[in-house]
Amino acid sequence: MSAPPSSSPSPAPIPQPAATLAPAGMRGAAAEDSSGSPPSRMSEDDDDGDGAGGGDRWAPDLRGCGNGGGGGGRWAPPDQVLENVLESVLEFLTAARDRNAASLVCRSWYRAEAQTRRELFIGNCYAVSPRRAVERFGGVRAVVLKGKPRFADFSLVPHGWGANVSPWVAALGPAYPRLERICLKRMTVSDDELALIPKSFPLFKELSLVCCDGFTTRGLAVIAEGCRHLRVLDLTEDYFHEEESEVVDWISKFPECSTSLESLVFDCVSVPFNFEALEALVARSPALRRLRVNDHVSIEQLRRLMARAPHLTHLGTGSFRSEPGPGGALSVSELATSFAASRSLVCLSGFLDANAAYLPAIYQVCANLTSLNFSFAGLTDEEFIPVIRHCVNLRTLWVLDTVGDEGLRAVAETCSNLRELRVFPLDATEDSEGSVSDIGLQAISEGCRKLESILYFCQRMTNAAVIAMSENCPDLLVFRLCIMGRHRPDRITGAPMDEGFGAIVMNCKRLTRLSVSGLLTDKAFAYIGGHGKLIKTLSVAFAGNSDMSLQHVFEGCTRLQKLEVRDSPFGDKGLLSGLNYFYNMRFFWMNSCRLTVKGCGDVAQQMPNLVVEVMKENEGEMDTVDKLYLYRSLAGPREDAPSFVNIL
């Protein structure tokens, strides 16, 4: 049945925006055009505020006075209804990758995704300006912000390089009064900036500082006193320097009433603190599940804390050493009783100055542990093996190389469900002896076949052991082998380590992160480029023999986001071979290679949307570059670069 004729004109059809893709050459930072194509970068929307970005969009008559004075009722514009529905759907989309993809569909999806995003992740604090970020995302509740390049962990980024959090805190305060969580990594944070958090965010709940510097106990005291809803205060591997005479009693600043605290981590805060205040805080924090204390806590004090918090799931033990009082030293059996009562423990760390004689006390909880961190405990194999024999359900293990190959063999025989292993060096110098080798690596590959991530520091390795790892652990996502001596070959055959790393990228089809070292030729990098199609992060140290190595990587690793190179024979030719790929990467760091200012300048000239920072240690050598940091940015060159950083 046809509709009755009407004297009112029919509305024009709603134009459909063209769903074009972002330019392949610059997926994360493409410029917007004036058409209806979807925006493909973090930027302001340049429409006129009508929500569609087009002047010919259909707009219903909301005045209720159509032709003939009809009394039509009000209704919402169809576009607005669709956007409301879309926002409701996007609320359930939590993965950052999915949200980024949704924002590229069209302008309405771009706006809806921005309004419903609750967590803002900035992988490089200089990649976008704070103003631009807060203008796009209006409803953020959590911010994750990263600063210095990762090589700062190895003291390769000069002190004072930058990554100050001050402009971000200044912008976040007015924009996000309902912000609840901040996580900062490798950033410089002052006490004054910490003081802005309770003033700006009355509902603030979680603060995590990872590998940060610049603050003291004065800033921690302000957080403890001012953030009345605080649930998480995690300080992890921060660089903390404060004279004991200036230390503030920050623990006693927490509210005297019952708290909402769920996690308190401060094992990196190396100064003394008020233990009685901590004990009282733990007692009035019924929700506390994670507690990691510093090396000023003895096992006698640890036992008192465990009695106050019997439901802990994660415990950092402090020193794990006795400080006898008037009643004498605590016995192993007394400490064992405390651990036996902690039935919820699944993660154990600390042991910052461990007395191995007390290790039998933790046997009671070992069977329940899924994570064990001995990376600060220089245990011998005789001290380590009796503990690991009880840890049959471990999924994560961090140890020092002092456990030796025999200790790793015990891990392989006991921990068949292990997913992550990290073996750190006690002595990280190039000429150190090292206590683990290819023998330990091969044992792990044979016993821990569900392994997904491994970081392994050693001095001696063979291709056979690495090949065995690739065949026995094909589900590896992360393989980081750090042979600390320069250009070390296969310790048995004397051959380059090409075939070992080649097997890793061929057999581990899901590999996303790879670190290579040892004597490697261009052949190894040809393997990586040919088979490492999912690799996102690649770290290279003391490897390669020509610029072809970099060319293989750039041309083959199409998903590469982060590339770090140090002490390798790569020069301007290798750098320039990446010109077609830099826009797709988050950053590229080169340290102590063979770069010149001219080569770096050529990159800056040909790629104006990249920031090219060069640093020189020896001012006498005018044309050499000691460090190069190249990254894409929507904000352009930063304004806080120190004098030793030259932005080309």
* pLDDT digit string, tens, across residues 377-399: 999 999 999 999 999 999 999 99
Count other Cβ atoms within 10 Å, centred on residue 241. Answer: 9
* 496 CB-contact burial (10 Å; exposed 0-12 / middle 13-18 / buried 19+): buried
* 251 CB-contact burial (10 Å; exposed 0-12 / middle 13-18 / buried 19+): buried
pLDDT of res. 428:
84
Q: Which residue has the higher pLDDT, 413 or 100?
A: 413
DSSP for 31-81 reads PP-SSSPPP-BS----S-SSSSS-TT-----TTS--GGG--PPP---HHHH
Q: Which residue has the higher pLDDT, 357 or 618?
A: 357
Average confidence (pLDDT) over 576-605: 95
Decide: 302 and 275 in contact? Cβ < 8 Å.
no
> CA-CA distance, 136 to 46, in Å (whole number)?
11
> CA-CA distance, 635 to 308, in Å (whole number)?
50
> CA-CA distance, 7 to 117, in Å (whole number)?
45
Could you give the domains of the chain? 81-117 (1.20.1280.50), 125-288 (3.80.10.10)
pLDDT over 80 (residue 22): no
> CA-CA distance, 182 to 221, in Å (whole number)?
17
Beta strand pairing call for 624-632 and 610-615: antiparallel
Tokens (6 digits) for 15: 């134009």
β-pair partners for 614: 628, 646
Q: Mind listing the pLDDT tens digit for each residue in 552-566?
A: 999 999 999 999 999
DSSP for 529-547 reads HHH-TT--EEEEES--SST
φ, ψ (nearest 5 deg) of residue 57? -70, 140
pLDDT over 70 (residue 360): yes
- Tokens 């979680």 locate to 206
Longest dimension (CA), the chain: 101
Within 535-617, residue ranges assigned H as helices are 548-556, 572-576, 597-606
Per-residue pLDDT band at 281 (split at 50, 70, 90)? very high
Beta strand pairing call for 119-122 and 420-424: unpaired
Question: What is the separation, in whole angstroms, between the first and last Cα of the chain?
Answer: 71
Count other Cβ atoms within 10 Å, centred on residue 120. Answer: 21
pLDDT of res. 45:
34
pLDDT over 80 (residue 200): yes
pLDDT of res. 622:
65
Q: Mind listing the pLDDT tens digit for each residue in 119-160?
A: 999 999 999 999 999 999 999 999 999 999 999 988 899 999
Q: What's 167-194 look like in SS3?
A: HHHHHHHHHCCCCCEEEEECCECCHHHH
Go through 37-52 and write b for each residue having 16 or more CB atoms within 10 A of its CB, e for each that does not: bbbbbbbebeeeeebb
Question: What one-character DSSP code corresponds to residue 150?
Answer: G
Torsion of CA 369, 374, 379, 384, to 10 degrees: 20
Query: Which H or E run contains 483?
Result: strand 478-483
> CA-CA distance, 191 to 284, in Å (whole number)?
27
